[in-house]
């Protein structure tokens, strides 16, 4: 069959497989949130003027007096069939409006951290592979181990302590200076610390994938053949070896998008970055179920989309894997 048919069939299969996955995740999170102690009613009931009748009436208005399966079906119908995430229990605003308001800040932070991590990973991975066992390779190995070992929140606090409090080079938090007119320079200065902190852990992991992949590629027979033909060293590395070396890194990047969002939650909280991660954290703190569930659905769909994109990038980089990868993932292929 033609490659185009394989690709369309594979895309349809991945979408069909993603639907029950998103439903299962939403069902699991919905159940865990509603089984947790407290909840929005617990917060409302702490008000000094709230009577028992007010609590009962509030539960009826929010639909929390119904059995849990009926609550989920009602939420599922509203979310997946009407594309309506409902309203926040705390603010009364539509959840979709709150997410769209915070989404640009999160995409900006994650996108910047992603670019920083990719650029540093490529540079350090190539340098380490070409200087295997030497001082530069050992230096980047130590940096990578440290980056994978240090928790994101601790590194964020240390970055604030050193660069904001001690040196006064970068602001400690926020997306811009409060009360000041918009300035691109001011905006970028506020972005440096949170994006760098978020990028550190992923640069540490991805650089090792690139290093290992490049070392294996450089020892392949096709590299010896390219060198025997008289090709320059730079052309052999970047035109032949790198194409095979980045495949494991692309797979790792697509699989770690979920942890990128998790890191964004922590980073946005530490640096008071007004994005979806901070919105999610505040929703958990205040037991705002509709807000938390809406963000979980959006994040789950984003993770699945990036995983599919990662698979397609791997197929484009290595067309030889196209039929085998697709058939094996779909459970087909020749016996």
- Please answer whether residues 124 and 140 qualify as being in contact, where contact means their C-beta atoms are separated by less than 8 angstroms: yes
pLDDT for residue 335? 40
Overall average pLDDT of the 184-198 stretch = 91
- Say which residue, 234 or 156, is predicted with more confidence: 156
- Domain 101-285 maps to which CATH number in 3.10.20.740, 1.10.3720.10, 3.10.129.10, 1.10.8.50? 1.10.3720.10
How does pLDDT run across 203-224, given as a tens digit for each residue?
A: 888 888 888 878 877 776 666 6
Helix (H) or strand (E) holding 8: helix 3-35
Q: Tokens standing for 89?
A: 């229990």
Long-range contacts of 138-147 (CB under 8 A, 24+ apart): 140/207, 140/211, 143/204, 144/203, 144/204, 144/205, 144/207, 144/208, 145/204, 146/204, 147/200, 147/201, 147/203, 147/204, 147/205
Q: Decide if pLDDT at 108 tops 80.
A: yes
Dist. CA 242–CA 42, nearest whole Å: 56
Overall average pLDDT of the 225-245 stretch = 65
- Please answer whether residues 275 and 98 qualify as being in contact, where contact means their C-beta atoms are separated by less than 8 angstroms: no
Sequence-separated (6 or more) residues with CB below 8 Å from residue 169: 163
pLDDT for residue 229? 64
Mapped onto helix, strand or coil, the DSSP state of residue 169 is coil
Dist. CA 38–CA 43, nearest whole Å: 7
Q: What is the percent of the chain with per-residue pLDDT over 90, rounded to a whole number? A: 11
pLDDT for residue 126? 84
pLDDT for residue 84? 85
Q: Decide if pLDDT at 323 tops 50.
A: no
pLDDT for residue 311? 73
Min mean pLDDT across 49-63, 93-107, 129-143, 182-196 is at 49-63
Query: 94 has which bridge partners?
Result: 87
Overall average pLDDT of the 299-321 stretch = 73
101-129 burial, b at 16+ Cβ within 10 Å, e below that, comes to ebbebbebbbebbbebbbebbbebbbbbb
Q: Tokens standing for 228?
A: 């025997």
Q: Tokens standing for 187?
A: 């905006």
pLDDT for residue 159? 92
Dist. CA 194–CA 264, nearest whole Å: 9
Q: What is the percent of the chain with per-residue pLDDT over 70, rounded to a whole number? A: 77
Dist. CA 271–CA 175, nearest whole Å: 9
pTM of the model: 0.78
How does pLDDT run across 245-274, given as a tens digit for each residue?
A: 777 777 777 767 666 777 788 898 899 899
In the chain, where the domains are located: 1-90+286-302+318-335, 101-285
Dist. CA 197–CA 269, nearest whole Å: 12
């Amino acid at each position: 069959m033609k490659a185009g048919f394989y690709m369309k069939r594979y895309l349809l299969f991945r979408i069909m497989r993603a639907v029950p996955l998103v439903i299962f995740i939403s069902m699991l999170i919905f159940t865990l949130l509603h089984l947790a102690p407290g909840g929005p009613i617990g917060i409302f009931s702490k008000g000094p003027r709230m009577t028992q009748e007010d609590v009962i009436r509030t539960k009826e208005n929010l639909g929390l007096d119904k059995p849990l399966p009926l609550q989920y079906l009602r939420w599922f119908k509203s979310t997946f069939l009407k594309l309506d995430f409902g309203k926040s229990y705390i603010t009364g605003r539509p959840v979709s409006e709150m997410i769209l308001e915070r989404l640009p800040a999160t995409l900006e932070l994650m996108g910047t951290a992603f670019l920083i991590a990719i650029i540093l990973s490529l540079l350090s991975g190539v340098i380490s592979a070409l200087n295997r066992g030497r001082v530069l390779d050992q230096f980047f190995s130590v940096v990578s181990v440290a980056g994978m070992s240090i928790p994101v929140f601790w590194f964020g606090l240390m970055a604030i302590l050193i660069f904001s409090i001690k040196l006064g080079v970068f602001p400690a938090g926020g997306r811009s200076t409060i009360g000041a007119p918009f300035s691109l320079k001011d905006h970028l200065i506020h972005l440096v610390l949170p994006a760098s902190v978020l990028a550190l852990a992923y640069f540490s992991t991805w650089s090792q994938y690139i290093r290992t992949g490049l070392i294996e590629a450089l020892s392949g027979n096709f590299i010896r053949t390219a060198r025997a033909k008289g090709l320059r060293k730079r052309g052999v590395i970047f035109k032949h070896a790198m194409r095979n070396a980045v495949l494991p890194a692309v797979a790792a990047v697509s699989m770690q998008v979920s942890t990128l969002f998790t890191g964004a939650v922590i980073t946005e909280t530490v640096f008071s970055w007004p994005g979806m991660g901070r919105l999610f954290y505040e929703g958990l703190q205040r037991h705002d179920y509709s807000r938390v569930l809406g963000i979980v659905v959006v994040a789950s769909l984003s993770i699945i989309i990036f995983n599919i994109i990662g698979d397609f990038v791997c197929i484009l980089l290595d067309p030889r894997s196209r039929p085998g990868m697709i058939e094996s993932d779909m459970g087909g292929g020749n016996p």
